């Protein structure tokens, strides 16, 4: 593939760059999230999302009839590349527009699409994804949150955990168990849930990094109309797979310092002469280039009108571990000062400390390292599947505890 822009792509890149330059500041030393408080960040994020939607940049590949631009996948890639150079407050909408709304579009009714898609695109409503539970993280199909039919409604009881953004979300897609008498993958059903309704309790989790992006969510006799079901009863796993494949693509990269940042710090700290560090630096550089070429493979598929496959799991494994290793080495370089997290006193605004605390979460979110390695082994390399002794066992006969 020729990675230079075609004439049309170059024109779109120039158009995108001009639009971004008109509305945003280039990235600085500190991201916007660190310079303003939470309420101000959210206000700016909603304002930016509305601006993008009104000008056809919110979801470039989506059809015009549902609010998109009707553009090409390569235009979306170009937009993402250019937007990444600016201080764009996009975080609150990544899950909703990257995972939840595509699921609504694929399995929801015309009424669902009319009601939810436009508001999400314009930043008027924020969505979260309610899958993981205390006993069902990597094994999503092992979830226990129950949905019991009561007339034209379902009554939901259970708990979700590690739900990103639940504390500021308006709606969510909720995976539940509706039939425990069949094997675990066959008794699931997906719903749209109003996060503000009675019986929904959100408890933010205080993370080691100091942030509170993840949440526990409790459902106590929450009633959801059957009309807010996504897909058929008992077919929730099929619906969830669509969401999960979008999730793998959305969280493929990891923000934070890379080999160039730690090399710059090593020069400043005078440790570039350390042979062991230089060997590590070479490994990080090679891994970064390998990931870059893997992304080119995805771009090649997109440019040919193909859908990127399970190889997207490679990027997440590489970058999350890569980030943790780089930050750990930088902290070790700082010796006993490495325990300090004050951004005003530490080199690089304490980005190594902050990212080190955040990196383990990236190795879990969107699928653990182990799950993603299995996906690569089975679906990319064609290796035999792991033995799954509970695959055909009714869920209510499975041992737990």
Cα torsion angle, 147, 239, 116, 57, sign? positive
State how far the Cα of 77 lies from the Cα of 143, in Å rounded to an integer.
35
Residue listed under structure tokens 């035999």 = 384
Q: What is the DSSP secondary-structure string of 342-388?
A: -TTTSGGGGHHHHHHHHHHHHTTTTS-HHHHHHHIIIIIS-PPPPP-
Using DSSP's 3-state secondary structure scheme, residue 200 falls into strand
Spatial neighbors of 293 by CB under 8 A, at least 6 apart, are none
Contact 159, 146 (CB under 8 A): no
Among residues 54, 247, 279, 378, the one annotated as catalytic is: 247
| Structure letter (DSSP) for residue 206 | -
State how far the Cα of 387 lies from the Cα of 167, in Å rounded to an integer.
38
Of 102, 327, 137, 318, nearest to 230 by C-alpha is 102
Here the tokens at position 122 are 């314009």
For helices 259-269 and 351-362, give the axis angle rounded to 10 degrees.
150
Residue 217, strand partner residues: 160, 202
Contact 99, 107 (CB under 8 A): no
Does 247 participate in catalysis according to the annotation? yes
State how far the Cα of 19 lies from the Cα of 23, in Å rounded to an integer.
7
Enzyme catalytic residues: 247
């Amino acid at each position: 593939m020729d990675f230079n822009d075609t004439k049309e792509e170059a024109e779109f890149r120039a158009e995108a760059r001009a639009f971004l330059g008109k509305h945003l500041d280039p990235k600085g030393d500190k991201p916007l999230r660190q310079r303003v408080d939470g309420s101000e960040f959210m206000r700016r994020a909603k304002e930016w999302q509305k601006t993008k939607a009104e000008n056809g940049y919110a979801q470039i590949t989506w059809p015009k009839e549902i609010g998109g631009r009707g553009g090409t996948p390569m235009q979306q890639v170009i937009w993402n590349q250019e937007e990444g150079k600016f201080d764009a407050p996009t975080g609150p909408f990544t899950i909703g527009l990257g995972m939840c709304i595509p699921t609504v579009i694929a399995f929801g009714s015309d009424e669902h699409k009319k009601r939810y898609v436009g508001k999400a695109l314009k930043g008027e409503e924020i969505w979260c994804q309610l899958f993981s539970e205390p006993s069902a993280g990597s094994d999503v199909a092992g979830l226990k949150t129950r949905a019991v039919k009561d007339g034209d409604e379902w009554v939901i009881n259970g708990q979700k955990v590690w739900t990103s953004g639940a504390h500021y979300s308006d709606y969510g897609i909720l995976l539940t168990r509706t039939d425990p008498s069949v094997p675990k993958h066959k008794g699931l059903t997906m719903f749209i849930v109003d996060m503000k309704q009675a019986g929904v309790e959100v408890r933010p989790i205080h993370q080691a990094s100091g942030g509170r992006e993840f949440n526990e969510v409790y459902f106590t006799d929450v009633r959801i109309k059957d009309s807010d079901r996504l897909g058929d009863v008992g077919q929730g796993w099929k619906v969830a797979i669509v969401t999960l494949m979008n999730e793998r693509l959305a969280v493929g990269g990891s923000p934070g310092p890379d080999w160039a940042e730690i090399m710059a710090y090593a020069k400043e700290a005078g440790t570039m002469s350390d042979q062991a560090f230089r060997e590590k630096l070479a490994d990080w550089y090679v891994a970064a280039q390998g990931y870059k070429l893997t992304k080119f493979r995805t771009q090649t598929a997109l440019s040919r009108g193909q859908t990127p496959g399970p190889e997207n799991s490679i990027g997440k494994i590489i970058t999350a571990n890569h980030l943790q290793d780089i930050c750990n080495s930088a902290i070790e370089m700082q010796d006993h000062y490495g325990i300090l997290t004050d951004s005003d006193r530490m080199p690089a605004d304490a980005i190594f400390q902050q990212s080190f605390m955040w990196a383990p979460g990236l190795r879990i979110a969107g699928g653990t390292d182990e799950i993603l390695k299995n996906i690569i082994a089975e679906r990319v390399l064609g290796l035999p599947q792991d033995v799954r002794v509970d695959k055909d066992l009714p869920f209510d006969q499975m041992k737990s505890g």
